[in-house]
Amino acid sequence: MTGVVKCGLIILLFDAGLWFSLWAALVLYECSTCGGLAGAWAFGAAKWAVLHVFTSTLTDGKRRAVLCRLAALLCLLFPVFESGRVLVAPPSEPYTGPYPDLSVLLLVSGASSLACVVWEKACGDGTLMKLLVRLLKYFKPDTLYLIAAFGFLILGVVCDTFIPLYQGNVIDMLRGRVLDSSFFSALGQLALFSLGSALFSGLRGGIFMCTLARLNRRLKHLLFHTLLQQEVHFFEVNNSGSLSSRLHSDVDKMGRTVALNANAAVRSTVKTFLMLGVMLNLSWELTVLTCIEMPLLAVLQSKYITWSKHETFSSTGQEMICSIIRLMHSFLFVKQELKDQMQECHAQNKDLASQTVSGIRTVRSFNAEKEEVRRYNEALDQMCAVKRRSGIYSAIFLLLRRLVSLGIKILMLVKARSLISLGQLSIGNLVSFFLYQKPMSNNLRELLYCYGETMSTVGVISKVFNYLDRTPECKTAGEFAPEKLEGKISFRNVTFTYPSAPQDKPALKSVSMEVQPGKMTALVGPSGGGKTSCVSLLKRLYEPQEGEILLDGQPLHQYSHKYLHQKVQQHIHYILYRKCLYQTQKRHNAHAKTSNLQETADIGERGGRLSDGQKQCIAIIRALVRDPQVIILDEATSKLDVQVQHTVLQEVLSCGRTVLVVAHQLKTVEKADHIIFIEKGAVVEEGTHQELMAKRGRYYRLKEELFS
């Protein structure tokens, strides 16, 4: 048992002692009255002062917020409740003050402890509250909608609350000899409240849904925008699946949690208090019996949790108090856990099926159909097992819940019989009470469910906020955008290590090279030499750790982002829409000459119905659409035949463009004005094809190796 729980119990006992002292004094001095409401408040205030000192002594002066809250509740709940009761439903005899009543003591102690536990578990270290407050700020543009929705919610709840009361009144009137006019007026009021409830609930629901849709749109837009600002390395360490899940399911979930749960929590809280007031007014004895049902169900639930973890009903020997403390937190959590598992299984199954279908060519070539079916079967079995567990859970819990409800109902009927025979309760009142009982339990259950749901989204909300708060780790672009660009590129002592690679394994080591404007320069070398890394740096996908890259003598990062990416283009196999293809086709006749693509042709998903050569043609021509001054071709023509390669290169080299070619086919680069040989991240040799062949160095040997 934790120290705080021990202290809490001692405070509860001490408070009970103070109550008993008051009652003993009343008996001793034969007082029939104790100052009425003023007496209740004076007793509460005096008790608060004593409990405050006692709590400080107990905790050696260390202020424990939870214990202070408990002391305050123990002292103030009673006078607040009594004042409300006397003001709302004045008793027939004058109120005498704090009277000796054990049920009052138990009720106050129980309600205070429960409130503290719920507060402690719900707010904990304040993380949840901070996250929720931040999330609520995103609702700011919809403040008016929210005010309207909550207004309708409260009106709907008030109407809802009075329906059973009027139903009971109408039933009472059916039995007695009452005037037609009173009967019809009660019926009219009942109809009015029912209509009001339906109308306000409908309006509330509609406005909440609209607000939620607007919030989702806002959050998704913001998150998508933030994600697209991140550096490339971010996308290397976060896979696309998890980012897309953040963007879609997580944002939906967090919006839904706050909007719907806040809606449900406010509705249930207001309803609970209103109903509790009416029920206490009808019969406090029956109300106490009703309130016992929920904690009992919670105990059953916690027992089930123990059973589901150890697969046995045997007692774990845990102390009762500890399990009660954990109770509120764990209530409905098995269900939540199973729900999470089920979602995970769904996602896995979906992922597996879509991976297999999209990679059907690979599956077929490896004759892996049977293996894929087996894997899918395994995933389905897992899903079945979770569903079975969930089914067993539901069946057991439903049975126990029904038994508890039945037991409580029998007790209530026995008590109601004696109250009716004593003339303290009418049949109509009893019917009203029963009509309140079920919604009351539902409200409490809904409150706990909202709490569970909100707790389960803490992780989701903080993950989304982490992404929203993330500042990209790349240099911000400058504003430089000259009218004329020659296209001269210089690498000066560039050293670069990929963020995800070990620091002692640089991809480029002190690379210095020049790409002359209006000329074709080729980067060649063995695989993994560093050619693509040069291209990535030129496109500012990464920043070099040392050295600099200049474009027409200006550091790359000084250029405006838009300008740089308009003027320096790389062909990329990035098939988006067919529309894009035909825009391209209109501007470049070369497309018609090279790709043989018909306007009506369906290119399939991600251009799956195009040949590799056609894809390369489209990629090059699309890069040309923006009329760049510098064009990068990284293995861009490897799938084209010699004739088409020639047409494409002619098109690319027209208009005095600077062309940087990366190719393994040395035939392609022979025509280049300048060839740079890169190996192990360093420039090994450079010159024209003839110069390098005459030199008989690495270029010559690579060509010989390829030829042989």
Ligand X SMILES: Nc1ncnc2c1ncn2[C@@H]1O[C@H](COP(=O)(O)OP(=O)(O)OP(=O)(O)O)[C@@H](O)[C@H]1O
Residues interacting with ligand X, by CB under 6 A? 236, 498, 500-501, 507, 525, 527-533
Q: Which residue number, 163 or 507, has a Cβ lying nearer to ligand X?
A: 507
Q: Which residue number, 131 or 511, has a Cβ lying nearer to ligand X?
A: 511
Task: Provide the minimum distance between the beta carbon of 569 and ligand X in the complex, in angstroms, as a whole number.
Answer: 18
Q: Which residue number, 487 or 525, has a Cβ lying nearer to ligand X?
A: 525
Task: Provide the minimum distance between the beta carbon of 112 and ligand X in the complex, in angstroms, as a whole number.
Answer: 58
What is the per-residue DSSP string for 299-354?
HHHHHHHHHHHHSS-------HHHHHHHHHHHTTHHHHHHHHHHHHHHHHHHHHHH
d(CA 52, CA 74): 11
Q: Which residue number, 253 or 531, has a Cβ lying nearer to ligand X?
A: 531
Task: Provide the minimum distance between the beta carbon of 522 and ligand X in the complex, in angstroms, as a whole number.
Answer: 13
Task: Provide the minimum distance between the beta carbon of 492 and ligand X in the complex, in angstroms, as a whole number.
Answer: 19
Would you give the DSSP letter of residue 489?
A: E
Give the CA-trace dihedral at 274, 276, 277, 281, to 10 degrees.
140
Closest CA to 328 of 495, 117, 156, 632: 117
Residues with Cβ within 8 Å of 477's Cβ and at least 6 positions away in sequence, in order, are: 540, 557, 559, 560, 561, 564
Residues with Cβ within 8 Å of 670's Cβ and at least 6 positions away in sequence, in order, are: 689
The SS3 call for residue 521 is strand
Greatest Cα-to-Cα distance within the chain, rounded to the nearest angstrom: 123
Task: Provide the minimum distance between the beta carbon of 531 and ligand X in the complex, in angstroms, as a whole number.
Answer: 4
Task: Provide the minimum distance between the beta carbon of 527 and ligand X in the complex, in angstroms, as a whole number.
Answer: 3
The SS3 call for residue 616 is helix
Question: Is residue 550 within 8 Å of residue 492, measured between CB atoms?
Answer: yes
Give the CA-trace dihedral at 182, 188, 193, 198, to 10 degrees.
160
Q: Which residue number, 281 or 638, has a Cβ lying nearer to ligand X?
A: 638
Q: Which two tokens stand for residue 687?
A: 């010159």
Task: Provide the minimum distance between the beta carbon of 501 and ligand X in the complex, in angstroms, as a whole number.
Answer: 4
Q: Which residue number, 291 or 702, has a Cβ lying nearer to ligand X?
A: 702
Task: Provide the minimum distance between the beta carbon of 335 and ligand X in the complex, in angstroms, as a whole number.
Answer: 43
Question: Is residue 8 within 8 Å of residue 113, measured between CB atoms?
Answer: yes
Residues with Cβ within 8 Å of 420's Cβ and at least 6 positions away in sequence, in order, are: 426, 427, 430
Question: Is residue 474 within 8 Å of residue 231, measured between CB atoms?
Answer: yes
Q: Which residue number, 237 or 320, has a Cβ lying nearer to ligand X?
A: 237
Q: Which residue number, 387 or 703, has a Cβ lying nearer to ligand X?
A: 703
Q: Which residue number, 445 or 573, has a Cβ lying nearer to ligand X?
A: 573
Q: Which residue number, 79 or 525, has a Cβ lying nearer to ligand X?
A: 525
Task: Provide the minimum distance between the beta carbon of 526 and ligand X in the complex, in angstroms, as a whole number.
Answer: 7
d(CA 633, CA 28): 101
Q: Which residue number, 270 or 523, has a Cβ lying nearer to ligand X?
A: 523
d(CA 503, CA 596): 48
SS3 for 226-263 is HHHHCCHHHHHHCCHHHHHHHHHHHHHHHHHHHHHHHH
Task: Provide the minimum distance between the beta carbon of 529 and ligand X in the complex, in angstroms, as a whole number.
Answer: 4
Task: Provide the minimum distance between the beta carbon of 400 and ligand X in the complex, in angstroms, as a whole number.
Answer: 56
Task: Provide the minimum distance between the beta carbon of 503 and ligand X in the complex, in angstroms, as a whole number.
Answer: 12
Residues with Cβ within 8 Å of 608's Cβ and at least 6 positions away in sequence, in order, are: none
Q: Which residue number, 236 or 319, has a Cβ lying nearer to ligand X?
A: 236
CB atoms within 10 A of CB 357: 10
Q: Which residue number, 365 or 500, has a Cβ lying nearer to ligand X?
A: 500
Task: Provide the minimum distance between the beta carbon of 203 and ligand X in the complex, in angstroms, as a whole number.
Answer: 54
Question: Is residue 48 within 8 Å of residue 67, measured between CB atoms?
Answer: no
d(CA 166, CA 560): 72
What does DSSP say about strands 568-570 and 630-634: parallel, antiparallel, or unpaired? parallel
Task: Provide the minimum distance between the beta carbon of 472 and ligand X in the complex, in angstroms, as a whole number.
Answer: 17
Residues with Cβ within 8 Å of 283's Cβ and at least 6 positions away in sequence, in order, are: 416, 419, 424, 425, 429, 433
Backbone φ, ψ for residue 482 (5° rounding): -65, 150
Question: Is residue 555 within 8 Å of residue 619, measured between CB atoms?
Answer: no
Q: Which residue number, 242 or 583, has a Cβ lying nearer to ligand X?
A: 242
Residue 660 bridge partners (DSSP) = 521, 632
Q: Which residue number, 20 or 574, has a Cβ lying nearer to ligand X?
A: 574
CA count, 13 A, side-chain hemisphere, 260: 15
Task: Provide the minimum distance between the beta carbon of 488 and ligand X in the complex, in angstroms, as a whole number.
Answer: 22
d(CA 33, CA 97): 6
